[in-house]
Structure 1
Amino acid sequence: MYLTRFRFNTNSSGGRRLLSSPQVLHAAVMGCFPEMLPSESGGPRVLWRVDRNARAEVFLYVVSPTRPLMDHLAEQAGWKDLDDPDRVWKSHDYAGFLDRLAEGQTWGFRLTANPVHSIRRKDGEPTKVTAHVTPRHQAGWLLQRQDACGFAIVRKNPDQRLLPGEDEYELTVHDRNAAGFDKPDPRSERQGKRMRVPIVRATFDGRLTVTDPDALRRVLSSGLGRAKAYGCGLMTLAPVEDRR
């Protein structure tokens, strides 16, 4: 397994084009793995996520079973004049990091996900996948999955909570959007008609404690939730000081 970070040149037309469409960026990411055929299914998945830290500081993170070849991506959407190529993109061994996860460790985390649930509007009606759209419900979506995913989001001390009875966890929800893309409508008989594919995304930042290392390894390598092909599901960890 590899974890790769790529820095976009947001001043380039190629960079702006890729960042404007999750469908186009998905194709560009998969183009970094020439040995993976489009028809292949099963096995380890390629996960990716875009972090927009600032206007000129936009990073692509990729977790993959093999090392990606990003030369074409760097040519199209990276910084070509940097003396240090590692500032454009660099891959790290991820398997070793995953192997060192242990119960009781505390980490900072970031996850961009597609928080959805299935609802039935009336009896007898088929269920429909519907997105959570408020920060409260989006946070609840993640909290409902923490036990099965091998982690527990750290609870705040009572004196750190801003609202009594709320604000219980070290968890923030931000960069909420309903980005999507258009694709040919298979239901239409009219040639050229397109349909909108909405993707509600939310980014979660916080701190977690490892409760089941094997389950957490599966999440980190296989993703969490839906829309993984379109920049959702990738969780990454970072060292933090445990303030408890």
Structure 2
Amino acid sequence: MTTAASASPDTVAEEAWLTRLLLNSGNRQVQHDLRNAAALHRRVMTLVPNRLGGSPRAQAGALFRLDTDGIGAPVLLVQTRVAPDTAQLPAGYAQAQTRTMRALLAALRPGLPVRYRFLGNAIRRCGRNSTVGKWKQAIPLYGEDAERWWADRAAAAGLDLHTVLSGTADALTAWHRLKDHCDHRDGRGPKTQIKGSGQATETLRVAHAATLFEGAATVRDPNALRGALLHGIGRGKAYGCGLLSLAPGGPEA
């Protein structure tokens, strides 16, 4: 399996790394991170250098996706534009394997058949006169609506889809301290009190909708696809959405 993100096709640096972390489900720090998408994001960011400016995730090109099958240990895929330092993970957290994506990025050409996997934040925003929600409220998409959402973004990313298998994944739930999370326009979760450091802290629960898309496709525009691979697709990248995985092969159209 290989993976992904989006960029200006003329300025793409042909380098990225994909790290596969086989998580230790018995590790307490793993258990904590799996309950909180915000904590999992913070863990991912420990793999890249500090002092990356005001948008460190974007600067590092950090994308991630949690793959689970309900049987084996969960796998966390992490893609970065800088070489990751897996020694920063806690002892016993995961078994790590890292490889460069240079060969995949160079191999993309028009007509190349590929298999894909993508976890997307398939939503639409309500307009001012919406009857289904408040203005700018995020409404999750399901079924054919979600597949049309993905088809539009895949086309923009330079892929011609042949097959699409979609399924609603568990919502990516993040817990934010209210003082650190100022934009509550969506009303996406209840406030609650949690205790830590001897005092109660008010937090906001935010659930991000996620849909898993898998299938076969053909590369139409390699430059657009390299951009989509390197920068991710759609919203929710800080919570585990947006990483496109590709594997060459599969049936032609």
Same topology, TM > 0.5: yes
Per-residue CA deviations over 1:98-125 (Å, capped at 9, x if unaligned) read 12100111111000111111221518x9
Corresponding position of 1:81: none
Match of 1:118 in 2: 125
1:136 to 144, 152, 158: 144
Report the CA distance shift for 1:38/1:230 in structure 2 as closer, same or farther (over 3 A): farther
Root-mean-square deviation (CA), in Å?
2.5
Contact preservation (8 Å) 2:38, 2:176: no
Aligned equivalent of 1:64: 80
Q: Which runs of 5+ in 1 are unaligned?
A: 79-87, 155-169
Is 1:150 paired with 2:166?
Answer: no
Assess, with a 3 A threshold, how the Cα gap between structure 1 residues 238 and 74 changes in structure 2: closer, same or farther.
Answer: farther
Instruction: State whether structure 2 residue 103 is matched by structure 1 residue 93.
Output: no
Matches within 5 A, 1:194-209: 194-209=203-218
2:10 aligns to what? Answer: none
Per the alignment, residue 211 of structure 1 pairs with 220
Other structure's SS at 2:97 match: strand
1:56 is displaced (CA, Å) by 2.6
Secondary structure (helix, strand or coil) at the match of 2:61 reads coil
2:30 aligned to which of 5, 15, 18: 15
Matched, 1:234 2:243: yes
Counterpart Cα distance in 1 of 2:90 and 2:161: 36
Give the paired residue count: 218
Q: Which has the bigger relative contact order, CA under 8 A and spacing at least 6?
A: 2
Gaps of 5+ in 2: 1-15, 185-192, 194-199
> Which one-letter code corresponds to 1:199 in the other structure?
H
Aligned to 1:29: 44
Give the TM-score taking structure 1 as reference length.
Answer: 0.80
CA contact (8 A) 2:33 2:39 kept: yes
Deviation at 1:219, TM superposition (A): 0.7
| Closer, same or farther: CA 20–185 of 1 in aligned 2, 3 Å | same
| TM-aligned CA deviation for residue 129 of structure 1 | 4.0
Deviation at 1:9, TM superposition (A): 1.0
Residue identity matched to 1:180: T
Change (3 A) 1:208 1:11: same
Looking at structure 2, the residues matched to 90 and 179 of structure 1 have their Cα atoms a distance apart, in angstroms, of 24
CA distance in structure 2 between the aligned counterparts of 1:54 and 1:61, rounded to whole angstroms:
17
When residues 207 and 218 of structure 1 are mapped into structure 2, their CA distance, relative to the original with a 3 A threshold, is same
Looking at structure 2, the residues matched to 133 and 221 of structure 1 have their Cα atoms a distance apart, in angstroms, of 25
Which letter does structure 1 place at the counterpart of 2:229? L
Shift in Å at residue 211 of structure 1? 0.7
* CA shift in 2, pair 1:175/1:51, >3 Å: farther
Partner SS state of residue 108, structure 2: coil
SS in 2 for 1:216: helix
Task: With the length of structure 2 as denominator, give the TM-score of the two structures.
Answer: 0.77
Offset at residue 36 of structure 1 (A)? 4.8
Distance between the aligned counterparts of 2:27 and 2:226, measured in 1? 36
